[in-house]
Amino acid sequence: MITLKTSKDIEKMYRASEVLCKTHLAIKEIIRPGITTLFLDDFANKFIKFHKAIPAQLGYQGFPYTLCISVNDEICHGFPSDYVLKEGDVVSIDNVIDLDGGLADSCWTYKIGKLSKENEKLVDVNLKALYKGIEEAIPGNRIGDIGAAIQEYVEKENGFSVIRDFIGHGIGKEMHEDPQVPHYGKRGFGPRIQENMVFTIEPMICIGNWKSKIDSNGWTARTSDGSVCSQFEHQLVIRKNKAEIITDQDKFELSDKDLKFIENYK
């Protein structure tokens, strides 16, 4: 069942999104070759709690970390580890914040140093594909229009693949609600998009085949052919004539206290 959100629901999600976006901005300040993904997870955990918020992924259905950190051929739900980041890595970091019952969810792909031309193009295409989908998220359209726009752009113009085993979702009182939002498909299919719906669009794009496999940890998905994958995700509120991006990092900036926290952590 799709639940339309109240103004109070949306206000809570906006407050959570400020912590979420600041966490991503803070990660941009510290991510670099030579550090481990576990270091990033510990940093994010402490930064989120510094803002009196809850890292909502930690403990969710048994997930044992604050962040999902997926490197290179990992598609999503990557476990932070002792892996040391190196020049050329493609790193997708997914984060969910709970602040006073409001949830905010966003994934961002980080480029470690200089990427290969192909990987650079992959990340660029992925981000553009996200916004192609967002353009279709308006009242009167259908959920299928979003996936179709993403798939058409990625496959016809760039030759990459859209991962099909993991999709976007509604979000509200729970992290995962209806509607389900595939990043592929046909126009004119799926639920009608309505004002005050809240959901994520989070295309995962890979260089090779779209098929995935799951690691022995039961969580981490990676490309079946070992090709590199990228993911970007925004959370949207559907307004009267457009989709409003809750998780727009450009709306926020790090405070002096945030910068001091980051400097002390380094």
DSSP symbols for 9-25: HHHHHHHHHHHHHHHHH
* Per-residue confidence (pLDDT) for residue 243, from 0 to 100: 97
By the 8 A CB rule, do 98 and 56 touch? yes
pLDDT along the chain (266 residues), means of 10: 96 98 98 98 98 98 98 98 98 98 98 97 98 98 98 92 98 97 97 98 96 97 98 98 97 97 91
* Per-residue confidence (pLDDT) for residue 121, from 0 to 100: 97
Euclidean distance between the first and final Cα of the chain, in Å? Answer: 45
Nearest alpha carbon to residue 122 among 100, 92, 101:
92
Known binding residues for a divalent metal cation: 94, 105, 169, 202, 233
Known binding residues: 77, 94, 105, 169, 176, 202, 233
The whole-angstrom separation of Cα 53 and Cα 241 is 32
Helix (H) or strand (E) holding 46: helix 37-50
Nearest alpha carbon to residue 2 among 245, 166, 196, 234:
196
Look up residue 102 and give its two tokens.
């409001």
* Per-residue confidence (pLDDT) for residue 158, from 0 to 100: 85
Distances (CA, A) of 3 to 106, 120, 172, 176, 198: 20, 38, 8, 12, 9
* Per-residue confidence (pLDDT) for residue 184, from 0 to 100: 98
Report which residue type is found at 212. S
Look up residue 96 and give its two tokens.
């969910």
Known binding residues for substrate: 77, 176
* Per-residue confidence (pLDDT) for residue 159, from 0 to 100: 85
* Per-residue confidence (pLDDT) for residue 186, from 0 to 100: 95
CB atoms near residue 240 (< 10 Å): 8
Instruction: Name the pairing type of β-strands 177-181 and 221-223.
Output: unpaired
